[in-house]
Amino acid sequence: MSMFLDKTIKEVVDELNGRYFLPDIQREYVWLQNADGKKIEQLFDSILRGYPISSFLFWKLPKEDIAKSDEQDSDKLNFQLYQFITNYDERKPHNEKIRIEQIKRDDLYIVLDGQQRLTSLYIGLKGTRTLKKKNARYDNPNAYEEKRLYLNLKHQPNMDNPEDNYEFEFHAQKPENDEEHFWFKVGDILELKSVINYAREHELDGEESALLENLKNAFCTEKLISFFEETEKDLDKVLNIFIRVNSGGVELSYSDLLMSILSFSSDIRERMNELVDALKDKGFSNMKQDQVLKTCLLLVGSNTEFKLKNFNKKNIKEIEDNWEKITDSIYNAAKLLETFGYAGYLGSAYSLLQRIQN
């Protein structure tokens, strides 16, 4: 049964890469591609100000429902899981794969919406970010700095001015404290037992103690992660849910997601894109990967219903082994349609091939 639930940031962050994982339909982490944007710092500032950070979409699954890496079980879900980035390095900004056999938890959450925010929280609370120094050369081994997130407890922003932010900053080493700065490593809040004891030990004044207490409440006490828990086990339905919540102004298609999770070789992916482009040049302006994939199923004699289960390893291998024949068949059908003057009206050769098959 699907439902809305709430958890603290600490509860979720503590279980990233233990219970929470990413599906291969997710794009890579992009928030640090432009470090000057300070999106991580802004997220932490918003949380401390009490601003909403939008809801999340988690797909709850028993681990036993996901096929192991070396098996193709039609009764199980077949897709690759990835780990969240803990220590971001712009030279290697990729998420690492994880085999289902490596996961110890029996019940998993697959994150369908919220990857960028959760990764940013993970980096800020438990990880690091490594970026190239400004004006440094890429071939300089000292050009990159690993930094952690700190908060200056002495800075109290004007809450009526949204541009006067809390001082969240990344530093390679803990900065020196002075009359205007007391730097607290943000991730330490997750394990801080007593704000009162810490304030007494470090001689914090009332405002500094209050800010530290607010930080602890925001990340450890208040249930700020509001998420919709999806329990649907039909991957095709979940893919369509993903399309709805992740379009964000960029057109996502079912075939885009299929191609991202299917085990097609990179060569076939490139050649499929070339085929689509070539057919568009011939006047089939509506040609897309969807039609090519459907035609592939048709020509290898498979069930042509456009569902993930029909793109099993056997059918994928047959498509790859017969790619030249499939391409020739599609081109020949396209030429025939072009001869009859239908190129501008039909989006693909699929309809014609279906009639020829029948």
In this structure, are 56 and 131 located in the same domain? yes
In this structure, are 26 and 121 located in the same domain? yes
83 and 96 in contact (C-beta within 8 Å)? yes
Residue 78 maps to a domain: yes
Q: Which residues of the chain have pLDDT under 50?
A: 249-250, 346-349, 358
In this structure, are 58 and 199 located in the same domain? yes
Confidence (pLDDT) at 349: 47
The range of the structural domain enclosing residue 149 comes to 3-230
Q: Is 28 exposed, middle or buried (0-12, 13-18, 19+ CB in 10 A)?
A: middle
Domain stop point among 171, 197, 230:
230
In this structure, are 11 and 60 located in the same domain? yes
Residue 49 maps to a domain: yes
Confidence (pLDDT) at 221: 98
In this structure, are 209 and 272 located in the same domain? no
In this structure, are 55 and 199 located in the same domain? yes
In this structure, are 214 and 294 located in the same domain? no
Q: pLDDT of 160-203, one tens digit each?
A: 887 889 999 999 999 999 999 999 999 999 999 999 999 999 99
259 and 269 in contact (C-beta within 8 Å)? yes
Q: Looking at the 3D structure of the chain, how many domains does it have?
A: 2
Confidence (pLDDT) at 17: 98
Q: pLDDT of 252-297, one tens digit each?
A: 566 766 665 565 665 777 788 788 888 877 777 677 777 788 888 8
114 and 23 in contact (C-beta within 8 Å)? no
Domain stop point among 196, 230, 264:
230
Which residue is it, tokens 């794009």?
A: 27
Whole-prediction pTM: 0.76
In this structure, are 16 and 150 located in the same domain? yes
In this structure, are 211 and 98 located in the same domain? yes
Confidence (pLDDT) at 181: 96
Residue 236 maps to a domain: no
Residue 244 maps to a domain: no
Q: Which residues pair with 128 in a beta bridge?
A: 87
In this structure, are 189 and 63 located in the same domain? yes
Q: Is 201 exposed, middle or buried (0-12, 13-18, 19+ CB in 10 A)?
A: exposed
Confidence (pLDDT) at 130: 94
In this structure, are 199 and 287 located in the same domain? no
In this structure, are 51 and 125 located in the same domain? yes
Closest CA to 227 of 7, 17, 52, 61: 7
